[in-house]
């Protein structure tokens, strides 16, 4: 039975994002990476193992998810990786004092439509502080009814679709294990939209 704190489960989207991180491994050493909604932290752990300077985060209101992040680090011999409580849409001291980032990771954060604007508010804040950063995100298509296009426009963000086949993630078996059930996973990279004249 899944826990109500969804971050205690490795969702298929996390496996796909970790595969993308692995495909980008040669560009990661020294890059500053923040994983939001990290939960079991698979993509962030892979990034750290590839030499990135990683910070993991999950909601400050979900202490079991934050503990899960810490346990993932310990089990993967990454005790130096910081874990922060960051709640989407909230301008907390932790968010305001966050060190610069190059890449933001988020797997299946676009799960509940009521959270979409809070997520993109936080992403916009981070990208404004770090204009060359990118948000790498994967999500499971659960409904044809939801879209973040209007919110991307509102927050002056743009997205580009990343085909799963471009990094070997279009298989039923990934990372030597089968993805449970049949899932449609998508990946996109979100960045600041270019202003006119630039």
Please write the tens of the pLDDT for every residue from 134-172.
Answer: 999 998 877 767 788 889 999 999 999 999 889 888 776
Cα–Cα dist 77/122, whole Å: 29
* Whether pLDDT at 57 is above 90: yes
Sole residue written with tokens 């997520």: 119
Cα–Cα dist 111/97, whole Å: 27
Q: What percent of the chain has pLDDT over 90?
A: 54
* Whether pLDDT at 3 is above 50: no
- Both structure tokens of 54: 């990683």
Strand pairing report for 173-174 and 177-178: antiparallel
Coil, helix or strand at residue 186: strand
Residue range 59-72: mean pLDDT, rounded: 86
CA dihedral 122, 21, 31, 7 (to 10 degrees): 40
Give the highest mean pLDDT range of 38-42, 43-47, 180-184. 43-47
Mean pLDDT, the chain, whole residue set: 86
* Whether pLDDT at 17 is above 80: yes
Taking Cα atoms as reference points, which of 50, 169, 68, 188 lies closest to residue 119? 188
Homologous superfamily in CATH for domain 13-192: Vaccinia Virus protein VP39 (3.40.50.150)
Burial class (CB in 10 A: 0-12, 13-18, 19+), 110: buried
């Amino acid at each position: 039975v899944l826990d109500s704190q969804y971050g205690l489960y490795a969702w298929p989207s996390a496996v796909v994002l970790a595969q993308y991180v692995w495909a980008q491994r040669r560009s990661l050493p020294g890059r500053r990476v923040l994983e939001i909604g990290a939960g079991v932290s698979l993509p962030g752990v892979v990034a750290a193992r590839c030499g990135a300077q990683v910070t993991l985060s999950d909601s400050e209101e979900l202490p079991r998810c934050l503990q899960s992040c810490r346990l993932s680090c310990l089990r993967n011999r990454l005790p130096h990786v910081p874990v922060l409580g960051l709640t989407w849409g909230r301008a907390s001291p932790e968010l305001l004092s966050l060190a610069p980032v190059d890449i933001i990771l988020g797997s299946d954060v676009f799960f509940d439509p009521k959270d979409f604007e809070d997520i993109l508010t936080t992403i916009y804040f981070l990208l404004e502080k770090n204009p060359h950063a990118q948000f790498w995100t994967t999500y499971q298509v659960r409904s044809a009814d939801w879209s973040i296009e209007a919110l991307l426009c509102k927050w002056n963000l743009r997205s580009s679709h990343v085909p799963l086949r471009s990094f070997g993630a279009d298989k039923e078996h990934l990372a030597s294990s089968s993805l449970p059930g049949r899932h449609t996973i998508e990946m996109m990279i979100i960045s600041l939209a270019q202003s006119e004249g630039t």
